[in-house]
Every structure is written in structure tokens, then in C-alpha cells.
Copies of this chain bind each other. A is one copy, B any other.
Amino acid sequence: MATRDSGAKVVIVGAGFAGLWAARRLGRKGFSVRLMDRNNYHTFLPLIYQAATAVIEPEQIAYPLRAVFKKHPRVSFTLAEVREADFAARVVRTARGREYSYDYLVLAPGSETTFFGVPGAAEHAFRLKSLEQAIGFRNHALACFERAAAEEDQGAARRLLTFVVVGGGPTGVEFAGALAELALGPLAGDFPGLNTSQVRVVLLEAAQRVLPTFPPGLSDYTLGRLSRMGVEVWLNSAVARVGADSVELVGGESLPTESVVWTAGVTGARAPGFSDARVSRGAGGRLLAGPTLQLPGHPEVFVAGDACKPGEADPPMNAPAAIAQGRLAAENISRLAAGKEPREYVYRDKGQLATIGRSAAVAVMWGRTFKGLTAWAVWLLVHLVHIIGFRNRLLVLVNWMWNYFFHERGIRIIFPSDPHGPEPGRLPEKGHQ
């Protein structure tokens, strides 16, 4: 087994929170680290809903990976889509057939949206798991308003102005709130000829309350705030089918809309080469790792982040858990290289946060619950601190201030425009997954 100073080669697949934190730690410990990702930037996914609702420029939550590792000479970055990990040969293979060998491998491919087999959802619903998807929705929503303004058929206009968010978890709540602020605020003002009473933001939740993982009191508070902001919250409402111009509920009700955003489920990312034949998958489509994050039978292969189901633990698929796992994977590789026993993963609850709208959020932290302005301030601080790069932090802050004080969103531009013709009436692509 390689020693600490041997410069053992570590390949890390995925530069999300888990992969990024693992790379940073391993780079400082003398390993020769190759970080691989299909994008040349890290995406700060917790704020992706703000890119989708024209609060911030998408570039502000993207950070160039080569800039992150400028001061880590032992970490190199490779822009590539990893298609296969060959555990026997200890190489990963990219979509273009290049091979990279490793002594240790960290699999941190993240997660993707799952539709639980609901017919039509994969074809017609928007997702919020990449910047491309966020921009796809922003352009689509703005184009819907433009089309409604040129529409003489009242039914069609109403359908164009109905936005449906599926899933009442933190992402669904945050997105529905931000969308209502955009659609009923700056956008309604942009279209003086439009009957803004036609604008609807509907949040569908299959369970009996929103934010089911929060204490019931915070769910009630959230429901009240969302309602006052103009969001129609439909509880006990499961989706049966998504069509091009409507969504149908299990109860039989149908809602005409061209804008369904799916936030209801995530599953471990399914890279082709990490097929079920090679690795086992557990709850949430995650790779079944041991309690030390090692893959059974492959002690040199670690799994971390959203795609990891570590032993008996069942951590949430979120950023704090991904960071903790990325750090532990790095720590354990370092321990193995030094001939020590790897440590077991222990889930530590870092709390839960969800913002609802201007000056309103809910939080469970440090054994306490918060709501309203206090929770909102906590949310603001936590997110601002975690955005990588001071420039991005500053620009995001400027945008938030603008949004807060002027109720204004300067980024409500349809961009890039549809290359097939920019005129209202064409649906942009719903964004490749």
C-alpha cells in the first residue's frame, strides 16, 4: 500500500461538494490528485433556484475549478465525462475512450432528478439540477409571459401563466416562493396590459404538509407565508401524469399549464459504467458503500456525496452531508496510505434551512427552530459564506440587495435566445439532463 509520501494517485470523479472537498484535503496531504468533471466549474446547487428565477446571474454560482486548485500544485483537473470505472484494472474510462489509472478512486457523481415513473414527467417537466436547466426554465417562464401578452384566447393565456411546482420539500418551497415573487412582482409590472389575476403559482405536495422533514409548526408557518405570497399550495396532491399542456393529479383533477417544474425526488446519478451489475444500489438509487465509505470488495474505491449510501447510516442527500463524506473519504485514503484503519462515517445533523421569500425562512439548527426574519438572516449568512470566491459572493450580495430593496430582478432576459427563432410561440428545449 502506498505511503503518505509516495504520491499515490487518487482519481476523483465529480466536482460537486463531495469531490471538491475530498480533492482539497488530499491535495494538501501529498497525494497526486486528478479531479474529473464534465464541467470546468463547480456548481453551487443550493442557489440554483435563484438562477432559475432571475435573481442572480448563473455564472455567479459557478466557480472555475482550475481557479480553485491554482494553489494546490498536486491537484490536476481533467474536463471529461467518466463513463466507466474498471475496478479490476484500476482505471477510469472517459466518453472519448481515454484511460486514467488510480491507486485510490473516489466516486462522487452526485444525483439526478427522479420522476418515480410518472408518465410524461421525464419528457415535459423542467428539472433544477444544472445551470443549463435553470436557464432553460428562466427563458421558458419569461417567454410564457411574452406569449400570453400576444395571446387573444383567454384560456391559452391562463394556461401560459400557470406555473406548477411538484414537491413541497425545501427546493420546491424555495423555488415556488422565488417564482411567485418574480411572477407577481417585477413580471406583472412588465406587462401592464396583462390581467395579472391570471398568474398562478401552484405548489403540489403529495403529503399532508409542506417541508415534511421539518417540525409541523414550521410547516404551518411556511404554508401561511406561501399563501400570503400568492402561492396556491395543494396538499395531498400526487401527480398522475404530466402532459405538454397540462398536469393531471391522482384524484383526477387536471390543471392546464406548460410549465411543470419537478423537485419531488432525487436519485444517485446513473453513470453508464457504474451499472447495477457492478455495484449495488440502495434507497434513493445510491451506491451501497460500507460504513467507512469503501465499496464492498474494493477497499481502494470510496463513494461520497449524494450517490453514497454509507453502511447503516441514511444521511440526507444535501451539501453538508456531501462535504462531510468528501472529507472523510480523503481522511480514510490518507489513513490507508499510512497503514492505519479507516474511520466510520457518522452522520451529524447540521440542521435544515429553507427560505420562503423576502424576510421569511424556516430553520432547524443548533437544537432550536427559527422562523421569519431570524431564520432568513441565518439562511442568508450560511449561503453567502459557502459561495466559493469573494467576487461571486460580492456579486450575489449586490443582486440580493437589489432584489430586496427594489423588488427588481435585472436578469429577466431570455438568453440565449432560441436559435430556431426567437418569436413567442416556440417552446425552448427543457434542458438536457
Query: Which residues does A use to contact B, with CB under 8 Å?
Result: 38-41, 57-60, 62-64, 66-67, 70, 73, 76, 78-81, 94-96, 98, 131-132, 135, 142-143, 146, 150, 186, 189-193, 389, 391-392, 394-395, 398-399, 402, 408, 410-417, 419, 421-425, 432
A81 contact set on B, CB distance < 8 A: 421-423
A40 contact set on B, CB distance < 8 A: 142, 146, 412-414
A78 to B58, CA, bound (A): 26
A59 contact set on B, CB distance < 8 A: 57, 59, 410-411, 413, 415
Contacts A94-B423, A421-B95, A424-B80 given; does A64 touch B398 at CB 8 Å: no
Q: How far is the CB of A45 from chain B (nearest CB, A)?
A: 15
A186 contact set on B, CB distance < 8 A: 67
Q: How far is the CB of A300 from chain B (nearest CB, A)?
A: 25
Contact of A410 (CB < 8 Å), options: B96, B392, B398, B410: B392
Q: Assembly of this chain: how many copies?
A: 2
Q: Check if B57 sits within 8 Å of A60, measured CB to CB.
A: yes
A425 to B402, CA, bound (A): 41
A135 contact set on B, CB distance < 8 A: 416
A45 to B370, CA, bound (A): 47
Q: Check if B415 sits within 8 Å of A58, measured CB to CB.
A: yes
**What 5 pairs across the A-B complex have the smallest Cβ distances?**
A66-B190, A41-B413, A57-B57, A38-B422, A79-B146
Contacts A395-B398, A422-B79 given; does A415 touch B39 at CB 8 Å: yes
Most buried by B among A67, A79, A192, A414: A79
A413 to B387, CA, bound (A): 16
A413 contact set on B, CB distance < 8 A: 39-41, 59, 62-64
A98 to B149, CA, bound (A): 14
Q: How far is the CB of A71 from chain B (nearest CB, A)?
A: 10
Contacts A70-B189, A150-B78, A413-B64 given; does A419 touch B432 at CB 8 Å: yes
Q: How far is the CB of A188 from chain B (nearest CB, A)?
A: 11
Contacts A94-B423, A423-B96 given; does A415 touch B62 at CB 8 Å: yes
A425 contact set on B, CB distance < 8 A: 96
Pairs A–B under 8 Å by Cβ, sample size 15: A38-B423, A39-B415, A59-B410, A59-B411, A66-B190, A67-B412, A76-B193, A78-B150, A79-B424, A94-B423, A132-B416, A389-B410, A391-B402, A395-B395, A398-B398
Q: Check if A422 sits within 8 Å of B78, measured CB to CB.
A: no
A416 to B131, CA, bound (A): 8
A399 contact set on B, CB distance < 8 A: 391, 395
A399 to B146, CA, bound (A): 31
